[in-house]
């Protein structure tokens, strides 16, 4: 609907009616129409957190992060697969609207974010009290958004997953895992 009507013309009541729920029920699940539209991105990050928790213990942090994230974004094509127009239109809508980008960033940087907790668990840090896990989540979010922006601007079109892998690999080269210290 957002693609058909435009983001500004889309109302919560319209989304709720299309989903066969009341506006009140919609508001129980989403804070705004923007939150509903960014839900897939937010879900991918939450699933990436679960995938990160399931990666092998001895695997280097950034390798685990890259594989966990790529697993979630794989539906947008691997290798040289060109994405379909509907996918590109959906992502342009989300990433072209500052309010939607704001919701994505607000979620990623929120206290208690599952991805931050998963990073903290892997490196033996405190998700709420240590900088590193939050910094990693913020950087991963920024790298993901940069890859998506490049993907949307590419002419001719390119696949998203290789761009995302490249962005995260670049980040990994410059943001190494901290050394663990034994405090016992």
pLDDT at 111: 64
Class of domain 38-174: mainly alpha
* pLDDT tens, residue by residue, 115-137: 999 999 999 999 999 999 999 99
Tokens at residue 24, please?
């009140």
Residue ranges per domain, the chain? 1-37, 38-174
Within 13 A of 82's CA, how many CA atoms are on the CB side? 6
The band of 165, judged by pLDDT with boundaries at 50, 70 and 90, is: very high
Distance CA 112, CA 22 (A): 29
Mean pLDDT along residues 87-111? 76
Q: Which residues are CB-neighbours of 32 under 8 A, at least 6 positions away?
A: 12, 103
The band of 100, judged by pLDDT with boundaries at 50, 70 and 90, is: confident
Distance CA 56, CA 61 (A): 10
Look over the chain and give the mean of its residue pLDDT values, rounded to a whole number: 84
148 in Cβ contact with 79 (< 8 Å):
no
Q: What percent of the chain has pLDDT over 90?
A: 37
pLDDT at 79: 45
| The overall pTM is greater than 0.95 | no
């Amino acid at each position: 609907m957002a693609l058909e009507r435009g983001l500004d013309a889309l109302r919560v009541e319209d989304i709720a009616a299309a989903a066969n729920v009341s506006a009140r029920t919609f508001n129980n699940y989403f804070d705004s129409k923007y939150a509903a539209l960014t839900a897939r991105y937010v879900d991918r990050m939450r699933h990436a957190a679960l995938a990160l928790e399931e990666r092998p213990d001895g695997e280097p942090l950034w390798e685990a992060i890259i594989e966990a994230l790529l697993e979630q974004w794989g539906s947008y094509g691997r290798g040289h697969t060109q994405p379909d127009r509907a996918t590109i239109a959906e992502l342009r809508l989300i990433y072209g609207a500052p309010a939607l980008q704001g919701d994505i960033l607000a979620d990623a940087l929120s206290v208690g974010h599952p991805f931050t907790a998963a990073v903290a668990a892997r490196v033996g840090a405190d998700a709420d009290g240590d900088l590193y896990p939050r910094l990693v989540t913020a950087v991963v979010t920024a790298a993901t958004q940069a890859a998506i922006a490049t993907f949307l601007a590419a002419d001719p079109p390119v696949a998203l997953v290789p761009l995302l892998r490249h962005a995260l690999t670049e980040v990994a080269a410059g943001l190494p895992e901290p050394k663990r210290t034994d405090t016992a």
